[in-house]
Amino acid sequence: MKFFVDTADVAEIRALNDLGLVDGVTTNPSLIAKSGRDMSEAIKEICDMVKGPVSAEVTATDAAGMLAEAAKLRAIADNVTIKVPLTEAGIQACKALSDDGASVNVTLCFSASQAILAAKAGAAFISPFVGRLDDIGQDGMSLIAEICEIYGNYNFPTEVLVASVRHPMHVVDAARMGAHVATVPPGVLKQMFKHPLTDKGLAAFLADWEKTGQSIL
């Protein structure tokens, strides 16, 4: 499974990238706004730092507007992936961009039927939002299972990018289902290091070592 970091915070991305955990980055207008950065500058800095895909989202709602914005975003760096919403206009833009050789991430997916449309339009990634489905009492992870099954049935090359990840078990469950990518907020990725027995075991080892009076150096 690949890990994309879901943030526009360059410092957070750099720290995780130094650990070798970053295969790509996803941003959106809300994350850019939160960073307080100029969008083009932030995307360029992230693209220079990360070798993998960096999703930059259009804000137009019509296909022509999306394509115009996509042209500007694609000019920022070769590893920019254009992010479009799963609307009729978004799928139209996805088809045109994919035919032109662009990498496209179709976002705001909430059903398997939507995911089929994105794959047919040539999307490189489909982004089902599991956390937001959980928020309204639906099972977000069941959607991941459905999409993985359907894509596997027809060998669609579109990668399942699990989005709106809220906790480590979303990542674990997605990996068990065979999802290709999880886009994870930095805080959730850091939670994956933690287990109380790890902390307890390390404390015991260090206490026993101190009693020996020895030093490795």
Instruction: Show Cβ contacts of residue 37 under 8 Å, excluding neighbours closer than 6 positions.
Output: 8, 10
Catalytic, out of 83, 194, 200, 211: 83
Q: Report d(CA 59, CA 70) in Å as an integer.
A: 10
Retrieve residue 5's tokens: 């970091």
Token look-up 């027809």 returns 154
Nearest to 67 by CA among 97, 95, 41, 112: 97
Q: Report d(CA 174, CA 180) in Å as an integer.
A: 8
83 is catalytic: yes
- Asked if 32 and 39 count as a contact pair (C-beta separation under 8 A), the reply is yes
Q: Report d(CA 133, CA 202) in Å as an integer.
A: 38
Residues labelled as active-site residues: 83
